[in-house]
């Protein structure tokens, strides 16, 4: 009898632990929020440092539209990239969005782009490539002031990027 209680308690504890670890929670879903067309200037090449090719891509402007947010991308930000041998590019972008009501919202967007050496070289040269030939994802964090756009601070987002020769398209999704 005592063994049975111990086994039952162990099963119950494992069940509770499984729930606490999220195994029985619903999987997150994505809800499309908006897209940004981010215009960029020619990269500033820094050279190879610690095994990676470092470069800075100035952001010169752009537009934002979608069901949850619209406005412009302000000039003056940038994307700091490190391109590693093997096809991994680490991205760190910081810039500002200006909502259609005039509110200025900061964004920090860290991500990765993974592609073959050939595709990576084409992107680095500013050539157009098929978006299906590489993986480009980011985890944006927004810094809005209090008010109508504060909801951007209360959600987790994921971004899907498409690199074009003179701009980047980022589709932003809310992780529900």
What CATH number corresponds to the domain at position 146?
A: 2.40.160.20
What pLDDT, on a 0 to 100 scale, did the predictor assign at position 4? 46
Q: How far apart are CA 160 and CA 42, in angstroms?
A: 22
Label residue 22 by pLDDT band (50, 70, 90).
low
Q: What is the pTM of this model?
A: 0.84
Residue 11 has pLDDT above 60, yes or no: no
Tell me whether residue 80 is in a domain: yes
pLDDT tens track for 99-128: 999 999 999 999 999 999 899 888 878 898
Q: pLDDT digit string (tens) for 49-65? A: 999 999 999 999 999 99
User: Does some domain include residue 75?
Assistant: yes
Domain assignment present for residue 65? The answer is: yes
CA angle 124, 128, 133 (to 5 degrees): 85
Domain that holds residue 57: 27-175
- pLDDT value of position 3: 46
Strand partners for 55: 45, 81
- For 132-156, the pLDDT digits (tens) are 999 999 999 999 999 999 999 999 9
Residue 4 forms part of a structural domain: no
CA dist 25 and 109 (Å) reads 28
Is 15 a member of any domain? no
> Does residue 55 lie in a domain region?
yes
Give the Cα separation of 144 and 141 in Å (integer): 10
The number of folded domains in the chain is 1
Domain contains 153: yes
Q: Kindly state whether residue 19 falls inside one of the protein's structural domains.
A: no
* pLDDT at 162 exceeding the cut of 80: yes
Q: What per-residue confidence (pLDDT) applies to 21?
A: 64
Q: What pLDDT is attached to residue 105?
A: 98
């Amino acid at each position: 009898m005592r063994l049975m209680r111990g086994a039952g308690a162990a099963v119950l504890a494992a069940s509770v632990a499984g729930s606490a670890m999220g195994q029985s929670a619903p999987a997150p879903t994505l809800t499309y929020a908006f897209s940004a067309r981010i215009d960029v200037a020619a990269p500033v090449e820094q050279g190879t440092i610690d095994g990676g090719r470092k470069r800075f891509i100035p952001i010169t402007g752009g537009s934002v539209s979608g069901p949850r947010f619209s406005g412009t991308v302000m000039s003056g930000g940038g994307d700091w990239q490190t391109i590693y041998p093997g096809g991994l590019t680490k991205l760190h972008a910081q810039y500002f969005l200006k909502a259609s009501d005039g509110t200025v919202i900061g964004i920090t967007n860290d991500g990765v782009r993974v592609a073959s050496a050939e595709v990576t070289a084409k992107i680095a040269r500013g050539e157009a490539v098929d978006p299906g030939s590489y993986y480009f994802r980011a985890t944006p964090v927004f810094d809005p002031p209090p008010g109508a756009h504060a909801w951007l601070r209360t959600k987790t987002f994921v971004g899907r990027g498409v690199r074009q020769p003179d701009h980047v398209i980022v589709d932003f999704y809310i992780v529900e």
